[in-house]
Structure 1
């Protein structure tokens, strides 16, 4: 089963890092966050990746070619808009690096990789967030619900405490509590090939807008509630926190 990773966005909220490299290549513990995401899927036995390239995609391509340069059993195939890397070394990965356009939105990138998923079920996630989600349980949940798409619902870390007010008088302070936070889309999707019927093959289309809304309205979108660790790398603060977790051996997403 293939794993599609969206890795082509501009990463404007992390401009301190992304002015020189794409966000999926920002390092956590000396390795790109993209590598961490791939290691998670690989831990559960899913090693066939389709990486959607865009902004500074050549840096991602160069990384994998260099990363596997010491591996004897490596095959690199260049064809049209994609590059395939097949390795049988430490990482038994098959990686298809697909050019999906520098300014293409998420829905457009997914449309562009349609032929690369072979009309079969596939995983889909963002290239900037790590989690300890159990991929096997996620897939089992998806299959049991028999819908076209499953997203992983997560509760982000609450950023602020709240005030209790009586008119203009502050009566109490309430500490940050994750139970007060709503569920959000955390990525880590499972998709059936029929989801492409909900896409318009338009580079300006945003996956999180009309396509997901229409899947929801047609009762074809389910949510797998993940109560464990999940953290995106949206800002420099996020990047520093993830790096600190790794270097202090507190990286909860490290299952391997």
Structure 2
């Protein structure tokens, strides 16, 4: 949400002691077709539209009447973390063009407007893609081709990742390359043919998923995305970035729920006594999805030309009392690390 949008919804706030005249003036001035009515503590009491006011005037109200007589007290609201696609679906299903954003205390924290949420926001933030791995588990496919350049459908995996990010508003990419890196450079060049800007980090030796970031000549000035070059997903990278910023984290890791069912019934004991049974229980854990957001200051824990993977980077940040958070993923996701994964990607041409 940009600065103009933030100011717009804040200017649309009226206290419940306002009059119809004040509500009309607000609608005309702010021009977002809704007034957000709050109590003295900023908690949402309801909304008012132009239609609500007109219906009130038809009932005999006048300009000095209190707005409490026309408030729509049960508007659709959404929490701050709701995905953009879900909000759009709610708007379409309920034929509404504005949805207030409220926190757990029902305090207003934002406002989604149809015209804005359906227009993809340009993202000046950088995306770094780790594309230097040898892909030894995928041999012989990778004997003469770097793993991120393996074709899925009619284009390399890496191109799928870049196109997905561009659809989310990103246009500046830095590719970390090593094994057969010249093939990546020859294919993408400076990104002009994709209407993108593409730069390169060239590793002389593998530095790990985080270590390559130490080679950045100009560290990003704003939070930036980092993703493995073999992860195909339908994640919205822009929403991931917004989540990171909203939670004021030094580093954010996208995680997926992994379920594993025990093949046997489990006997619960206490000493020699049997205290219960659980038939083939399901264990649920969070796994690293290979997609991250880092704030610029997180790079301070890296040493130049030192191998470092992302979990180690997160551990260093935690040790220095910096906030690290998890972004739960529900979108389709495929880590193309094994031949069976690659067969799945080739067969479907996607993450599903």
TM-score (norm 1): 0.77
* Bigger radius of gyration among the two: 2
Cα deviation, residue 92, structure 1: 1.5
CA change 1:108–1:174 in 2 (3 A) is same
Counterpart-to-counterpart distance in 1, 2:278 and 2:143:
43
How much does 1:104 deviate?
A: 2.6
Equivalences for 1:72-151 in 2 at 5 Å? 85-87=190-192, 89=193, 91-113=194-216, 115-151=217-253
Partner of 1:213 in structure 2? 315
Deviations 1:44-101 (A, max 9, x none): 1101100001111011111224xxxxxxxxxxxxxxxxxxx141x5x21111022122
Distance 1:22 1:149 in 2: 28
User: C-alpha distance in 2, partners of 1:197/1:39?
Assistant: 30
Shift of 1:31: 1.2
- Cα gap change, 1:154 to 1:5, in 2 (>3 Å): same
* Residue 53 of structure 1, aligned match among 177, 180, 189: 177
- Name whichever of 39-48 and 216-225 sits farther off: 216-225
* Unmatched 5+ stretches in structure 2: 1-124, 269-276
Compared CA separation, residues 163 and 190, structure 1 to 2 (3 A) = same
- In the TM superposition, 1:233-248 aligns within 5 A as 233-246=336-349
> Which residue does the alignment assign to 1:7?
131
2:264 maps to 1:163: yes
1:201 corresponds to 2:304? yes
Structure 1 residue 108: deviation in Å?
Answer: 2.2
Q: Is the 8 A contact 1:36 1:130 kept in 2?
A: yes
Q: Secondary structure of 1:231's match?
A: strand
Distance 1:172 1:149 in 2: 38
Unaligned regions of 5+ residues in structure 1, if any? 66-84
Q: Give the Cα–Cα distance (whole angstroms) in 1 for the partners of residues 196 and 329 of structure 2.
A: 26
- SS in structure 2 of the partner of residue 133 of structure 1: coil
Note closer, same or farther for the CA distance 1:166–1:18 as it changes in structure 2 (3 Å cut).
Answer: same
1:23 to 142, 147, 158: 147
Deviates more, 1:143-152 or 1:14-23: 14-23
| Count of paired positions | 219
Superposed displacement of residue 239, structure 1:
0.3
Alpha-carbon distance in 2 for matches of 1:104, 1:50: 16
Shift of 1:121: 1.9
Contact 1:8 1:102 survives alignment (8 Å):
no
User: The residue matched to 2:239 in structure 1 has which SS?
Assistant: helix
Question: Could you tell which deviates more after superposition, 42-51 or 183-192?
Answer: 183-192
Tell me the alpha carbon deviations over residues 142-192 of structure 1, each in whole angstroms, 9 at most, x when there is no partner: 111111111111135x5776222569xxx99859x7xx3311111221111
Q: Secondary structure at the match of 1:200?
A: coil
With the length of structure 2 as denominator, give the TM-score of the two structures: 0.57
**How many Å apart are 1:234 and its aligned residue?**
0.5
